[in-house]
Chain A
Amino acid sequence: MTSNTSALELIQAIDQADSSDSLLDAVEALADARLEEATPTLIAVLSYNNPGAAVAAVDGLVQLGEVAVLPLLNLIDDYNYGGRAWAIRALAGIADPRALETLLEAAEGDFAMSVRRAAARGLGNLRWSKMLSSEVHPAQKRVFQALQLTSQDQEWVVRYATAVALQGLGGSVRVSQPDLVGEIKAELEQMLATDADLAVRTRVQLALKQLEEVEN
């Protein structure tokens, strides 16, 4: 009862916010409360065209995790581009494999580099144990293909995120698909040899080092 009352109050505070600052405060309070019934409101905030509030809402949705996945996927079909980009970032943070197709599409084709970067990172740490085991191997191969593409992105930050993601994927498939680990390492070696940005090459070095440490 108390929880319901306070949820209602927190949600009303968002509707009643009359400035950018008070909206941010209200969204942060609702996000911190970690209430499942706050999901639709947090999702609505993603389309308010208020970056500070959207960041807070994404954090709140990532903390809620799985329960937010289907509502977020539904929003992706919506027309609001601003909201769409934030929803993809929330899905990348939650890393539920039901978002796989959406994240693949975003990593490979979104025009905003911040979305490609978040989607690439999300692909690298998907929680594979949540997926039907028969689907895991092909899906991991498909993710690797997408990361091969994003490793050539024209923005350094997307390539940096790709190095992080390849490290994550390499760790996930270490036991189940050793061949794929070899391909991932070859891809990282290729980036190390050719990438134009020192920061990206340094992150690639770290990814290779960590993959080798896990193996030994």
Chain B
Amino acid sequence: MQESSIEGIKDLASAAVPIDAESLTVEQAIANLKGEDQGLQYYAAWWLGRFRIREPEAIEALILALQDDRNRTESGGYPLRRNAAKALGKLGELRAVPELVACLDCSDFYVRESAAESLGMLGDRSCIPQLIKLLTGGVAANQPIPGCPHLPQPCTAAIEALGSLGATEAIDLIEPFLEHPVELVQYATARAMYQLTQNPSYGDRLVQALGGDKLQLRRAALSDLGAIGYLPAAEVIFETLAENSLKLISLKGVLEHHVKNYSSESSSVSDTAIYLMNLMDNLL
């Protein structure tokens, strides 16, 4: 459920334009992806992921699109590869793992980032060594580049993926990123460290972040707390100055984590679950 929490927030952020599921059919999307029109290809790759189209033909076409050479940005990026990598993560198709691992070496930062995110979602641990490689050189090698909107490597995505995959062998490499100058990297690190150690000090670090000045950072911390299902954060999540929609997604993550780990679904609803749902009800 972690993945859907994170993704929920991202979908929400980009949902300014209403999504019309009827605007494409599955057949048409697959045909567009295999076709010549680069605009339609790009949209079809996004669409297949958004609507979770798991047809074998769609997956094959998306895997093929990871090697697309035609759709290029002025600075040499690969837009279609980025969208295809994102979609394959959402489709939960393990067949895509080797090709996504190959994308971690792509010259385009955003392809590497999308591939790392998707590998974290797919849950196949075979990619752990390649994800670790993205963190080579540690914090020193991954300082912000003046004039460039991103770090040398997609550290946030790699660290989050390693946390989701339970890569305890990477703990020593990940922990120093708590001191990274970029807050979002610190949060990703706290999140992964909590997942890998269950040490509450890392969850508390994210709770502190909810008290920060910048809305964008509070939103990120909400997403991370939902992803790790950190129960002691519930009240602070409820009080945080941010959109109710995001607080609801965060509390949903906490609730689902609790129900999955501490109570069986068939039996009665626990007091903790009721407490969490009371908070959620008040945010509707």
**A residues with CB within 8 A of B:** 51-52, 111-114, 117-118, 121, 154, 156-157, 160-161, 164, 197-199, 201-203, 205-206, 209
Contact = CB atoms under 8 A, between A and B. Distances in A.
A10 to B, nearest CB: 22
B75 to A, nearest CB: 34
Contacts of A197: 252, 256
B280 interface: yes
A113 B269 CA distance: 27
Contacts of B74: none
Interface of A is mostly: helix
B259 interface: yes
A199 B18 contact: no
A160 B280 contact: yes
Interface residues of B, number: 23
Contact of B252 (A113, A121, A199): A199
Given A118-B284, A198-B1, A198-B260, A51 B265 contact: no
Interface of B is mostly: helix
B71 interface: no
9 contacts: A117-B284, A154-B21, A157-B248, A160-B252, A161-B284, A198-B256, A198-B259, A198-B265, A202-B259
B139 interface: no
B284 A199 contact: no
B244 interface: yes
B281 interface: yes
A205 B252 contact: no
A192 B178 CA distance: 41
B18 A114 contact: no
Nearest to B280: A160
Contact of A51 (B243, B248, B252, B277): B243
Contacts of B281: 121, 164
Nearest to A204: B269
A124 to B, nearest CB: 9
A179 to B, nearest CB: 27
Nearest to A198: B256
With a 10 A CB-CB cut-off, give which of A112, A118, A202, A205 has the most chain B CB atoms.
Answer: A202
Contacts of A209: 268-269
Contacts of B26: none
Nearest to A120: B284
Nearest to B281: A164
Contacts of B269: 202, 205-206, 209
Contacts of B249: 157
A196 to B, nearest CB: 10
A52 B268 CA distance: 38
Interface in B6-23: 18, 21
A80 B243 CA distance: 21
Contacts of A112: 18
B273 interface: yes
Interface in B53-75: none
With a 10 A CB-CB cut-off, give which of A111, A157, A199, A206 has the most chain B CB atoms.
Answer: A199
